[in-house]
Every structure is written in structure tokens, then in C-alpha cells.
């Protein structure tokens, strides 16, 4: 006589294998799974080991993200800057925050808050342009053929201090 658990076992195994399959690639698929499904899948995957992306074979190299700002002044001058600190730990935390830009649902709120922060800390600026860049790291084969890592633009956002003052 087969018990209910015996009947459910193949289905439970299928669900586990499906979750392991989703996380088996080196792609960060969790950024594309609907949030209502992603959280329980992540929790189960962390407990079961299915959420590892099999990084124990070849760890994922996260591309670095950086953010550049252009500030426009009333006299027409433009100043470019990056937010950084002499403190290495602060710079690592900034880099981690910038990497959250890679999550599609975080992009708009991040660039808006970065732009508003720059306008708040630079009261002399009339406008700010936020430019997000990703370090495109070549494969070993591409490096052998002479390709080097390069920064590519992946996002841009502009904000004006006083929209009524636009000429």
C-alpha cells in the first residue's frame, strides 16, 4: 500500500530538481523571477543547497558598477565627479550599493535618490546627470585575443533642481 507521502515524494523531488535547475546557471536568475516566487524559492534553495549556482566549481565574478555625476551650474559650467571616500570600507559599501542597480526593480529609485542627493549636497548646481557604468570583463579567450576590460554605459538619469526655470 502506497502512502500519501509515497505518492507526494516524486512531486517533491520534481520541485527540488526544478529549483536546482533554475539556480544551476551562473546567471543571476533571481533578479528575473517574480518577487512572490523568488523569496520562497530562495529560502528553500538556501536550506537545501539548490540556490548555490554551483559556485563551488567556478565562483561568479560580479561585474563592478560605478556611478558618475555631471553637475550643471547657472554660469553654464559643468563639473564631473564621483562619490568616494579615503576610507576603503566606505568605498566598498558604495560599490555594493551601486551594484544593486543591476536589479531591475531597484534602478529607478536608486538613480532618482542619487540625483536628489547630489542636488542636496551641491546647492550651487541647477541640474545633475547620473550615469551608471558596468565594467565589461572579457573572457580568458577574449583577453588572449587582446580585448581588455572596459566601462560601458548601462543607464542615465537627469534631474533639474527647479523644473520651472527651464528655458
Q: Which of 64-68, 70-74, 99-103 has the lowest mean pLDDT?
A: 99-103
Short-list 55, 144, 155, 52, CA closest to 102: 155
Return the residue matching grid coordinates 536628489: 116
Report the distance separating Cα 113 and Cα 145, nearest Å. 40
Q: Tell me: do 44 and 74 sit in the same domain.
A: no
Query: 96 forms bridges with which residues in the sheet?
Result: none
User: If pLDDT is split at 50, 70 and 90, which confidence band does 104 have?
Assistant: confident
Q: What band does 128 get if pLDDT is binned at 50, 70 and 90?
A: very high
pTM value is 0.59
DSSP 139: P
Q: Does residue 29 sit in the same domain as residue 104?
A: no
pLDDT of residue 131: 94
Given a contact cutoff of 8 angstroms between Cβ atoms, the answer to whether 69 and 81 are in contact is yes
Give the model's confidence band at 129: pLDDT under 50 very low, under 70 low, under 90 confident, else very high. Answer: very high
Report yes or no on 53 lying in a domain: no
Q: Are residues 87 and 157 part of one domain?
A: yes
Decide if pLDDT at 57 tops 60. Answer: no
Q: Do 44 and 70 fall within a single domain?
A: no
Q: Is the pLDDT of residue 2 over 80?
A: no
Residue at 139 is within a domain: yes
Q: What is the arithmetic mean of pLDDT over 36-40?
A: 82
pLDDT class of 51 with cuts at 50, 70, 90: low
In a domain, 60, yes or no: no
pLDDT at site 122 = 95
Q: Which residue has the higher pLDDT, 137 or 69?
A: 69
Say if 58 falls within a structural domain: no
Share of the chain above pLDDT 70, in %: 85
Section 43-53 average pLDDT:
72
pLDDT, residue 7, reads: 80
Nine-digit cell at 126?
541647477
- The answer to the question of residue 56 being in a domain is no
What mean pLDDT, rounded, does the chain reach? 83
Q: Do 82 and 31 share a structural domain? A: no
Q: Which three cell numbers stand for residue 10?
A: 516524486
Find the domain containing 23 and state its range: 4-48
Kindly tell me if the per-residue pLDDT of 165 is higher than 70.
Answer: no
Question: Rounded to the nearest 5°, which phi and psi values hold at 24?
Answer: -80, -20
Assess if residue 114 is contained within a domain. Answer: yes
Query: CB atoms < 10 A from the CB of 50, how many?
Result: 22
Amino acid at each position: 500500500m502506497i502512502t500519501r507521502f509515497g505518492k507526494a515524494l516524486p512531486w517533491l523531488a520534481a520541485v527540488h530538481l526544478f529549483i536546482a535547475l533554475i539556480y544551476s546557471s551562473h546567471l543571476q536568475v533571481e533578479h528575473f523571477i517574480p518577487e512572490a516566487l523568488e523569496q520562497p524559492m530562495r529560502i528553500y534553495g538556501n536550506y537545501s543547497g539548490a540556490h548555490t549556482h554551483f559556485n563551488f566549481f567556478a565562483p561568479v565574478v560580479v561585474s563592478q558598477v560605478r556611478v558618475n555625476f555631471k553637475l550643471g551650474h547657472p554660469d553654464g559650467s559643468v563639473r564631473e565627479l564621483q562619490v568616494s571616500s579615503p576610507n576603503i570600507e566606505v568605498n566598498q559599501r558604495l560599490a555594493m550599493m551601486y551594484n544593486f542597480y543591476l536589479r531591475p526593480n531597484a534602478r529607478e529609485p536608486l538613480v532618482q535618490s542619487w540625483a536628489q542627493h547630489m542636488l542636496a549636497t551641491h546647492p550651487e548646481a541647477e541640474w545633475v546627470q547620473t550615469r551608471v557604468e558596468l565594467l565589461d570583463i572579457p573572457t580568458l579567450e577574449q583577453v588572449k585575443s587582446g580585448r581588455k576590460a572596459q566601462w560601458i554605459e548601462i543607464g542615465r538619469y537627469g534631474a533639474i533642481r527647479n523644473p520651472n526655470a527651464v528655458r
